[in-house]
Amino acid sequence: RTPTTMATKATSHESSIDQQVDASCTVSLPIVYGSIAHWLGKQANEHHTHKWSLYLHPAASPTDMSLDSVIEKVSFHLHPSFPRPVRELSSSPYQVTEMGWGEFEASIKIYWLNSSKS
């Protein structure tokens, strides 16, 4: 299964994370999250037609900045047919890459450091 069925398709969203540091300070950090899939072409078989990734990173260049200082972990929820359908990453890069054949819905949950807010 893949999060998209197009030969090469990228889906991304920009968002702004507002995290209250203390009673008088809120930090806003733009992020990008989404998915991308590539058709495997002649390397494809019945169960692996696409290589895909789900990701979350800063809107600025992912190599210029790390989200590790504000994120405890990121949880990626995949289709239940995958081994380990819930993937938790506690450091960047926050990305899951797999191979599959079909389309499914996935979700990403962010756990903030020192906060119960997500």
69 Rama sector, left if φ>0, alpha if ψ -120 to 50, beta otherwise: alpha
Q: Is 3 exposed, middle or buried (0-12, 13-18, 19+ CB in 10 A)?
A: buried
Q: Mean pLDDT in the chain?
A: 80
- Determine contact, residues 56/36, Cβ cutoff 8 Å: no
Residue 8: pLDDT over 60: no
**pLDDT per residue as tens digits for the range 16-47:** 555 555 566 776 788 899 999 999 999 999 98
Report field, pTM of the whole predicted structure over 0.85: no
Sheet of strand 86-89: strand arrangement? 86-89, 71-77, 107-112
At residue 4, the pLDDT reads: 37
Residue 83: pLDDT over 50: yes
How many other β-carbons are positioned within 10 Å of the β-carbon of residue 107?
A: 10
Mean pLDDT of 65-79: 91
